[in-house]
Each structure stands twice: as structure tokens, then as C-alpha cells.
Amino acid sequence: MPGFELFGETERNEVNDVLKSGVLMRYGFDGMRNGHWKAKDLEMELQNQFEVKYAQLVSSGTAAVSMSLAIAGVGAGNEVIMPCFTFVASFEAIMMLGAIPILVDIDDTLTLDIEEVKKAITPKTKAIMPVHMCGSMANLQALKTICDDHNLVLVEDACQAIGGTYQGKALGSYGDVGSFSFDFVKTITCGEGGAIITNNDKYAQFADHYSDHGHDHVGNDRGAETHPFLGYNFRISELNAAVGLAQVRRLNDFIAIQKKHYTILRDALSDIPEVVFRTVPEGGEENYSFLNFFLPNLEVTQVVSKAFKEEGIDGCFHYYNNNWHYIKEWNHLKNLKTLYPVSEEMKKGLEYLKTKSFEKSDYYIGRNLSCLIKLSWTEAEVKERADKMVNVIKTVLNS
């Protein structure tokens, strides 16, 4: 991770193919494009690789998450349960629809704490949205049971975990609908882009229309298409799709490289008794894009994090005070700082964040280091990195 590290001729060839046709838009201009449809081809690749009936490309991972919720009927007055450790796009996507994000604690999976999810359910709850952070998944079987018991929608945010699996199914395909991000730092990149996958016929049709201003895409005259319902412009371009098409065909190779590098690092750190690795739910296999581990306490983790940087060990993140990924510094959300007025319902719905504490999550995030696994490393570089990481951690623990 990320896929741009291994850009090559395959990506350039797909992009040049689009430029030769001169058609950068995914819809229309049939005569000019001579049968070349990069977005459609990429959607077919996603369907085949992840063994789902439908895939719909969109302009970003955020668009994918928001559209996943919209096609499932989530909107004003609804509550969506989500983790307090994620990227800010998760709550942005919920609020874009006028719904209320209900943030709950995480556990040692670094994803939703199942008992906290149960406590958060109210008559307004419409969906549960696990976020498969840093390459690994939530306990999807437990969440599916909760959703079935309460008639809720299970929406998977798999933006950081493409290529991971749970009980033999691709992440994103276990729930009712799943979403991916293909931004510049993801395992598969389009530069900017995203996708949703689903086996639900109705959701698939809604996604096809909703992502393109509500166009029904019936017939060969785009100007004559009808609009069964309102939609928005979440279209991906053919240029972005071309890059993603080349990349997704290499996904299995990327995952294999990540697993190799991850395993070298994990095996080295396993010799340190104080290092505890994140829990991967039974039946799950992460995509190996990050190595996540816990140290004894916040203070030790802070010292190790600083020492890693001083030793040139880059790409290891301590999210405790991170502005993008953890509730602790999301003051713009907690104080509802917006450029436009929001409904009284939303103001009231988010009041809980002014007083709610997240001690469970502080315990795990405070002790966690999340280390990026690069595709471009040589084996010698990985082993050298492993030795440095072990030496730094042992030095701090023994000081």
C-alpha cells in the first residue's frame, strides 16, 4: 500500500487508450469511444474479483459511503452507528444525508465494540456502519445478527481494507452494501475514485441512477433519459477508471507483497513479550496494508512513536492526537462548525458528543501503533526496518 508505488506500463496503456478515443466521460459518446468503456470494465472486474452481482463506480470513497447509505434509505431523522476511530469522511457521509452519526467505542479489533453497539441502538437507528480500519475488519457476524434482530441495514466501509476477507467473503460483500476508496494512498488507486458493491438488485439500480443525477440510463439518447428520483453527480471519469482497471487486475499480487512484508515485521516484533497485536475476528484475514500492535501504555507508545521518527522509521502512526482519524481531536464535529445552517434535529442529535467520553477507545488508541506496509520495499529493506523497530522498542522498554 499504496498502489501508486508500482505504477507501470499497464496503467499507462489503459490511460493512453482513453486519450486516443478522446472520451473522458463514462456515459455517452458511443460512436467516438469505439467500444471502449473503462468504468464498465472496472465494474465487471470488481464483480468478478469479489464475487458479487453488482459494482458501481463513483468519484470518491466518501461518495461511495454516502451513496451506500442513501440507497439503503438512510436520511433525515435516522441514526447510523459508527466507530469513533475512522476517517472523518465516515461521519461526513452520514451528515451529508441529514442523518445523525452515533459514535461508539472500539475494542482490540480497532473497530466497533459489539456491546457498545447494542447499547447505542434506539428507535431512530437505521443502520450500523462498521469501518474496517487499517486493513482489518469488525466482527461482522455479530453485527449481522444485531442488524437482523433489529431490522437494521449493515453498511460496510471497507475503504481501507480492499482485498481482505471474512468467512471466505470479500470485505464489503458480507453486509447489505459495501464501499471502497481508490484515492491516491489506497492499495488500489484511481487517483480519486470509489465504488460500492452489493448483491441487492434494488440497491444496485438505485446506485446506478443516484450517482448520475437520477438518470435511468434507458435507451441510447442520454438527453431523453428520465429521472425516476433525485440524484447527484458522483460520476467517475474514464481516466480515473482506466488507472483503477489496471490496478485492480494486480490486486492479488499487491496483497501477496503486503503479506510478505507484514509477516517479516510481525515475526520480528513477536519476540517482544510486551508487544500485543490487534485482534482479527475469527474467520477473517486482513489485507496486510498495516501492521497494528499495542504497547503497554500511552507513555511508552508516545516515546516509541517519537523514537521511530528519529530513527527514520516512517509511516508508523499513533492516532491518539490525530486530527483526521480519532474523535479526540474532532472539535469541528463536536462543536458543529459548518459553513451553512443545519437542522435543529441534527443539532440536538449531536449534543451527546459534548459530554460523551470514550475511555475504552482511548485505552486502545493510546497504546496502538499502526505501521504502513509499503509495496516498493525490497526484502532487505523490510528486514532492516524490522531490526530497527525491535531495537527501538526494546530500548524504550528497558530504559
Catalytic residues: 186
Radius of gyration of the chain (CA): 21
Return the bridge partners of 75, or none: none
C-alpha 399/C-alpha 397 separation (Å) is 6
C-alpha 174/C-alpha 166 separation (Å) is 8
User: In 3D, which of 381, 377, 372 has the Cα closest to residue 185?
Assistant: 372
Instruction: List the end-to-end C-alpha distance of the chain, in Å, as a whole number.
Output: 34
- Cα–Cα separations (whole angstroms), residue 58 to 10, 134, 161, 202: 22, 22, 18, 18
Burial class (CB within 10 angstroms; exposed 0-12, middle 13-18, buried 19+) of 390: middle
Looking up cell 494486480 gives 250
Q: Beta strand pairing status for 284-285 and 165-166? A: antiparallel
Contact 333, 91 (CB under 8 A): yes
Q: Which residue type is seen at 387?
A: D
* CA of residue 371 relative to chain centroid, distance: 16
| 166 three-state secondary structure | strand
Contact 293, 275 (CB under 8 A): yes
User: In 3D, which of 109, 117, 32 has the Cα closest to residue 365?
Assistant: 109
* CA of residue 64 relative to chain centroid, distance: 10
Q: Which three cell numbers stand for residue 398?
A: 528497558
C-alpha 228/C-alpha 211 separation (Å) is 13
How many of the other CB atoms lie within 10 Å of CB of 376? 11
